[in-house]
Amino acid sequence: MILRRYKTSLLAIVGLVLLLGYYWYQQPLIVSPFGFRLLANQGTTLALAALAQLTVVLTGGVDLSVGAIVSLSNAIAATYMGDSPWSVFGVVLLTLGAGAGAGLVNGLLVAYGRIQPIIVTLATLYVYSGFALLIRPQPGGSVPGYYASTLTGAWGWLPYSLIVLLVITLAFRMPIMRSRLGTAIYAVGDNPGGAHMSGINVPRTLVSAYVIGGVLAACAGLFLTAQTTSGDATVGTSYTLNSVAAVVFGGAILGGGRGVALGPIVAAFFISIIISVLFAAGVSSFYQSVFQGAILILVLMFGNAWTLRARNRLTVLRS
């Protein structure tokens, strides 16, 4: 039963293991406390963004504003954080609140405005990017050193970033997804009409999913700030589409209703690390994005070949 639940994550796991194996062969130094820390930090921001995206995708929507919320969080954190532990704490809360607010607006527009998610979040992508630019017109700002090292440091072989990711996944997202709300999110994505007929409050479920997504995107922004230790209103741009890629690669279905956290997290690491691997393999930087895209397509094709082996094709089309 448990295996079945995580079966959709298998492709991403196999992909990451092979990629890391090849990386190790190219660059033996990555198997070291320092290398582990580097790898973990490299993937955590996208992993959090992918969790944000996954929560929305499960309802059958998509959140194009994830990258803008990452940028906005980064701008807020790097601009206002200050040095004292109390101001750091306050600004972290403020940033998370901003993420929740951004998600709330997305959710209200989708659920009650009856506008398609892709258009709502495309519009708010511009709005939130605008806010980020207002807060931080030029790159700059700073965060205290202890803030950065607490999130990106390591204890021997154990990078703190993995602990952060684990805590957010297991202590924040998982309890929600295992509650009635979580089941409702899956149900709404799986069969919205049926969800309504079953007495689920569909609009409230949608709003909740976007709020959770907004908070997780803000978490991604906060971690990114620890990594870069400065603010930049455009730093999050790449996370929008990469988070969608990670979610799909991680076994979730864009139509909604299916997907677990493990796959997208692993896929996020795959996507984040691949650039470094291509660099280590000596691929010219001109070809790196070509290779990056081609590898993603190949991996996904390999994964689909698996499902297409099903005998009755109607079941494939239906699923």
Partner 1 sequence: MSSHPDPTSPSASRASAGEGTLLEARGISKSFGGVHALEDADFSCEAGEIHALLGANGAGKSTLVKVLSGVQRADAGTIALGGETVSFAGPADAARHGVATVFQELSLFPHLTVAENILIGHQPTGFLGQISQRRMRAEVRGLFDSLGVDHIAPGAHVSDLSLADRQLVEIFKALSKKPKLLILDEGTSALGRKEVQRLFDLLRKLKAGGTSVIFISHRMSEIREFVDRMTIFRNGRHVATVKAAEASDGEIVEMMLGQRVERSFPEKTAVETNAPPLLELSGFSAGSGLHDISLSLRRGEVLGLAGLEGQGQGTLLLALFGAYRGIGGEVTIAGKPAKVASPWDAKASGIALIPEDRKTEGLVLPMSVRENITFSVLGRLGRFGFVSPAKEKAFVARMMERLAVKAASMELPARSLSGGNQQKLVLAKWLETGADVFLFYDPTRGIDVGTKQAFYELIVGLTREGKGVILYSTETSELIGLCHRVAVMDDGRIALTLQGDDITEQDILAASLGVGRGRGEGAAVMEAAQ
Query: What residues line the site for partner 1 (CB under 8 A)?
Result: 1, 4, 175, 178-180, 182-184, 186-187, 190-191, 193-201, 257-258, 309-314, 318-319
Angstrom distance (rounded) from CA 319 to CA 316:
5
- In a 3-state reduction of DSSP, which class is residue 140? strand
Least distance from partner 1 to the Cβ atom of residue 279, Å: 39
Q: 114 or 313, CB closer to partner 1?
A: 313
Least distance from partner 1 to the Cβ atom of residue 256, Å: 10
- In a 3-state reduction of DSSP, which class is residue 57? helix
Do 60 and 255 meet the contact criterion of CB atoms below 8 Å apart?
yes
CB count within 10 Å of CB 153 equals 15
Least distance from partner 1 to the Cβ atom of residue 195, Å: 8
- In a 3-state reduction of DSSP, which class is residue 252? coil
Amino acid letter, residue 256: G
Least distance from partner 1 to the Cβ atom of residue 55, Å: 16
Least distance from partner 1 to the Cβ atom of residue 191, Å: 5
Q: 301 or 314, CB closer to partner 1?
A: 314
Do 42 and 300 meet the contact criterion of CB atoms below 8 Å apart?
no
Amino acid letter, residue 299: V
Q: 28 or 255, CB closer to partner 1?
A: 255
Do 60 and 290 meet the contact criterion of CB atoms below 8 Å apart?
no
Do 64 and 208 meet the contact criterion of CB atoms below 8 Å apart?
no
